[in-house]
Amino acid sequence: METTSRTVRFKLEEMKLIEEFLRENPFFDFSSLTRTAIMQFVKNPKLVVRPVTEVKTSKDATKSPKDH
């Protein structure tokens, strides 16, 4: 089986949560946890993305992204 390594960055608080989860769930290691989470998201992405600011255009400076 061919594998590829990738890099991911975590904040200190995120790493603490991950480490706590791994201690409480010893059947997972970091690699299997991340593979499982990523594949679950790829197969069933349930992420709601909401804009922080409104998009401004030359035609209408107050249109929100969903108005485009």
Q: Is 3 part of any domain?
A: no
Return the HEC string of 2-68.
Answer: CCCCCCCCCCHHHHHHHHHHHHHCCCCCHHHHHHHHHHHHHHCCCCCCCCCCCCCCCCCCCCCHHHC
Confidence of residue 56 (pLDDT cuts 50, 70, 90): confident
The number of folded domains in the chain is 1
Q: Is 6 part of any domain?
A: no
Q: Is 2 part of any domain?
A: no
Domain that holds residue 58: 12-67
Q: Is 4 part of any domain?
A: no
Q: Is 33 part of any domain?
A: yes
Query: What pLDDT, in 10s, does the model give residues 23-36?
Result: 999 999 999 999 99
Q: What is the mean pLDDT of residues 39-43?
A: 90
Q: What is the mean pLDDT of residues 6-34?
A: 94
The model carries a pTM of: 0.58
